[in-house]
């Protein structure tokens, strides 16, 4: 599951015009790595929410910026696993 999420995130970042050619699982999403600004983090979060049916609180963006790609994909996978089965509205 994490590999699929990683592929989705990298594709989304590519569409957002970020160079992901040298991105690894240890690459930070924030200033020390991809340097995603708050608007880009919000955009990425919305795309992940739409794709996987998980929710991010706007207050989480600051901590998301401190995550590596692997940490972010693990967080998304954990949110998916924690979601109630059949939780479609």
Res. 34: pLDDT tops 50: yes
Please give the pLDDT value at position 89: 44
Please give the pLDDT value at position 86: 58
| Of 45-54, 55-64, 77-86, highest mean pLDDT | 45-54
Looking at 41-45, 47-51, 61-65, which range is the least confident one? 61-65
**What stretches of 16-88 show up as alpha helix (H) in DSSP?**
38-52, 61-65, 69-82
Please give the Cα distance from 36 to 81 (Å, whole number): 26
**At a CB cut-off of 8 Å and minimum separation 6, what does 32 contact?**
none
**At a CB cut-off of 8 Å and minimum separation 6, what does 1 contact?**
77, 80
Tens digit of each residue's pLDDT (9 = 90 or more) over 45-59? 999 999 999 999 988
Q: How far is CA 9 from CA 66, 84, 85, 89, in A?
A: 16, 23, 23, 24
Res. 10: pLDDT tops 50: yes
């Amino acid at each position: 599951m994490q590999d699929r999420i990683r592929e989705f995130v990298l594709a989304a970042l590519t569409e957002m015009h970020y160079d992901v050619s040298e991105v690894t699982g240890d690459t930070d999403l924030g200033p020390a790595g991809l340097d995603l600004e708050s608007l880009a983090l919000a955009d990425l979060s919305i795309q992940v929410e739409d794709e996987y049916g998980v929710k991010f609180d706007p207050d989480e963006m600051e901590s998301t910026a401190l995550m590596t790609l692997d940490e972010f994909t693990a967080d998304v996978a954990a949110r998916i696993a924690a979601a109630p089965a059949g939780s479609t509205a």
